[in-house]
Each structure stands twice: as C-alpha cells, then as structure tokens.
Amino acid sequence: MAQSVKGMRDLYGSELRAFRLVEDTARAAFARHGYEEIRTPILEYTEVFKRTVGESSDIVNKEMYVFKDRGDREVVMRPENTAAVVRALIEHKLLGSSDPRLLFYIGPMFRYERMQAGRYRQFWQIGAESFGVSTPESEAESLLLLFEILKGLGLTQLKLSLNSVGTPESRPAFYAAFRAFFDAREPEYCEDCHRRIGENPLRVLDCKNDRCQKALEGHPLITDFLDEASKHHHARLKELLAALGIPFEENPRLVRGLDYYTRTAFEVLSSDLGAQSALLGGGRYDGLVKQLGGPDTPAFGWAIGLDRLASVVQQVKGEVGATPPALLVPLGEAAALEAAKLAQAWWDRGLPVQLDTRGLALKKVFASADRLGIKTVLLLGDGELAEGVVTAKHLATGEQTKVPFAEVPTRLSPAKA
RNA sequence: GCGGCUGUAGCUCAGUUGGUUAGAGUACCGGAUUGUGAUUCCGGGUGUCGGGGGUUCGAGUCCCCUCAGCCGCCCCA
C-alpha cells in the first residue's frame, strides 16, 4: 500500500481539530498582544542554522534534512524557526528601530530523528519572538502571552521550569568551576557524561545514572556565577512572574539544546507525553541577531510543540468533536433546484447549511446524517415546496416542525444548527 | 545513531505442537411495500495475515532480509 514518508504523518479528523483549536486560541492571543505573523520558507541555506543553533548541537550534527538542490546549493529543511526569522528580519532591514517588533509563526519543522511517540520528523511549532527589548518586563509579557494560550486551552496545571544560563562572558567561569568539580570525581561518571562534559557541560546535570547523580552532590550552580546585571535581571523576572501569578519553579540544572540562549531559559514539561515530555521551550537570545550579521539586537522568544500540545489538549479535554452544519435534503428534481436556490441565498447570509446532492433514499440520508453528527435535517419535498416551508427534524429528539423558508435563517443560528 | 518489542478485516483482537475454504465483536454495504436515523430482524467478509525470500508435502504460525509503528536511550517540540 502507498505510505507516507517515515516520520511524516497526515493530520485529519479529531487530531486536526485539536491542532486548529490550539492554533485559533494562539492566534487570538497573539492578536490581543500585538504580535504579527511572519512566514518564512521551509528551505534555508545550511549556514543559517550552523552559525546559530550551534555546530556541536545534535540538531545541526545529526538531525538536519540537508541536501543539494538542482543548482548544487546546499539547503536544509528548517529544523527550527528562530534563526530563520532572524535571517528574514535582517534581510528586510526590519531591525534597529525602537518600534516594537513582535512576531509569531506557525508552521512545520523538520528533524531527521528516530521515531517515537510525540516525536516526528515533521512536527509543528507555534512560536513567538520579541526583538529589540532587553528588559525582564518584556520576558514577563511574552510569558503572560504564553500562559494565556495555555489557560485558553484549559491547561492550568502546567508549570514553567526557569533558569538563567548567563552570558557568553559569564559562562566560562562557571564552566571552569564545573569542570574542576567534575574532574575531581571523574572516574565516577558514566561514559555519556564524559562525552557531555566536553560538548555541553550542563547536560551532565540531568544524567539519569544514579552514580552520576550521587557524584554531582554539591555541584557549582550556574546562577552563582552570573554577572551582576544578569543576576538583577533574573531576580527581577522572578519578582514579576510571582506578582503576575505565573507558576514557575527555579531549575538551576535546566539546559537547552540550542547554543544561542543568554540569561533567561525556560521550558514546560508535561507528564502526559511519555518520554518526549518537553511541551515548549524558549529563552533570551541577545547575541543571535548580530551573529547572523544584523544590528546588535536583544531578543526573547519561545516555541510550542503543536503536535504535543494538541495531544495534551485531547488527553485533558477529550476528543475535539466536529460541528457539522444542518443538512438540507431535497426530494425529487424540482425540489433539488429549489433547494440549491435556497441554500445559495442562505450561504450568502452566512448560514451553515450542507446541501445534500446524493438523491439517496431518505432512510439512508438519516442514517448518514446520524453518523456524521448532524443535529438538524431540513427536508424539502413536493408538499413543502408547495407550502414554501422545509420540514426541520432535530435528530436528537426526533421532533419535527415546518419552517417557512424566510424563517430558516433565524432558526438556523449556529447555536441551533 | 544504539537497544528491545509489535505488525491478521476500516477499528479492537482470536487463530492450538506448522495441517485443508483464515475467525469474533464492532464498523460498513444491501434488504424488511416506494418521505424518516441512532433499537430490532434477515443477508453480505469487505483480507497481499505489512512486504520479499527461505525451510517444509504443507507457513498467519519456523528462519533470514526489509518496511512501518511502539517502548527505552541519545536528544528535543
């Protein structure tokens, strides 16, 4: 049988409705907050991600869909979108003014990884980025927006895991201290940790090996090595979040997989997702714009895993049901034409009415309507035609009434359809 | 990229130490006097047993390869 490409899936039915629910909720929140949408291409030149996400990161190292196009250019299917958005802003010279530059995006990302529940090779992200503001207040605003979306979806149990990873200037001191700590008990750490200490030292901290965890007791904290400005920044953000009622817990061991983060880093995990528990993540990336050749611009942003959030929404709220419109069923040729005319007029007025053009026996029409979850069937036969009415049957109650054509629009308000 | 498990009807699954036309529930299709569903009754199996190769008189069942999915690791959304 024909199959979709490994790791890529078709979205339809209740899962797609869950996606749309999340998207609609997010778009409404973005609009309230003054965030504008941006859409960038799926394909980017490899350099965009190599220079930003980090040469040593797994994403660049082993997960990118890289290939040569017919013009022999090396391109990559975007593994994330922040770097691409920054590239676009630089290219169109949209940075450098003091005007707010608040952007959001919704789209698919691609990473070549081993399949697992909640981990797909094409997955979707909803992201928000705010450029040009370095204050903790801007971060609080962005996180308020984020929690507004989660709350709008009925997810109130989620908690932010928060850390500050300092700046490129302050981090070396921490790394040195941590390395010294590691070296002192070096033989006690597992093989993976010996690899991690070179690539991303913080990763050692969340090793699942019991011996490693024991050897880590009393390790230096990155938050103790912050410069004064970063320390104040971090303290102020925590103060704001507490005052604004955003639930968070400090996690000095929090690490992110992308190299470009500075100061604030955070993520939200969900216990409803199995091993792939990361629901969303983000943080500050003050150096990224300059790194890609733009004006020195502070920035903060986050990305939600749409596939995973939709999954959590379905687990918490149950399947997202469809809401089909009423079904207008003509009986016979004369009625078929009249029904089309009526439907045409009603559609012009914005009414949700599905026109049945199958010409099936009524019992099949009703059986089908029942399966589709249709609430109201409007019958138009010769008798109705002569009277200028439709017979409206509510499937749930079996109740049947005659409704003059002119009254259908008021009777068919979306709530009653 | 590493390790383990699974794959039979649209769905959930049964199928004996290898044995004859591959089953159940549900869903679906047709019918029970032509304009009334979700109940009932009657009828229908709709299948490349994931795919390919091998062993065997004989393979859904055993072996190898492969594809897909699931679980864990790595990592991340």
3-state SS, one letter per residue, for chain A: CCCCCCCCCCCCHHHHHHHHHHHHHHHHHHHHHCCEECCCCCEEEHHHHHCCCCCCCHHHHHCCEEEECCCCCEEEECCCCHHHHHHHHHHCCCCCCCCCEEEEEEEEEECCCCCECCECCEEEEEEEEEECCCCHHHHHHHHHHHHHHHHHCCCCCCCEEEEECCCCCCHHHHHHHHHHHHHHCHHHCCHHHHHHHHHCHHHHHHCCCHHHHHHCCCCCCHHHHCCHHHHHHHHHHHHHHHHHCCCEEECCCCCCCCCCCEEEEEEEECHHHCCCCEEEEEEECCCHHHHCCCCCCCEEEEEEEHHHHHHHHHHHHCCCCCCCCEEEEECCHHHHHHHHHHHHHHHHCCCCEEECCCCCCHHHHHHHHHHCCCCEEEEECHHHHHHCEEEEEECCCCCEEEEEHHHHHHHCCCCCC
pLDDT value at residue A123: 94
pLDDT value at residue A248: 95
pTM value? 0.91
ipTM over 0.90: no
Domain assignments of chain A as residue spans, ordered by start? 13-170+226-317, 326-411
CATH number of A13-170+226-317: 3.30.930.10
pLDDT value at residue A58: 79
Top mean pLDDT of A62-66, A91-95, A188-192 is at A91-95
Residue A414 has pLDDT above 60, yes or no: no
Q: Nearest nucleotide to A393 by CA–C1' distance?
A: B36
Distance between the alpha carbon (CA) of A116 and the C1' atom of B9, Å? 27
pLDDT value at residue A413: 65
- Is the C-beta of residue A162 closer than 7 Å to nucleic acid chain B? no
**A326-411 matches A13-170+226-317 in CATH topology:** no
Lowest mean pLDDT: which of A89-93, A100-104, A204-208, A307-311?
Answer: A204-208
Distance between the alpha carbon (CA) of A97 and the C1' atom of B20, Å? 83
The CATH class, in words, for A326-411 is alpha beta
User: Nearest residue to nucleotide B38 when comparing alpha carbons to its C1'?
Assistant: A370
Distance between the alpha carbon (CA) of A136 and the C1' atom of B52, Å? 61
Distance between the alpha carbon (CA) of A152 and the C1' atom of B17, Å? 60
Q: In the predicted model, what is the mean pLDDT of chain A?
A: 90
Residue A417 has pLDDT above 60, yes or no: no
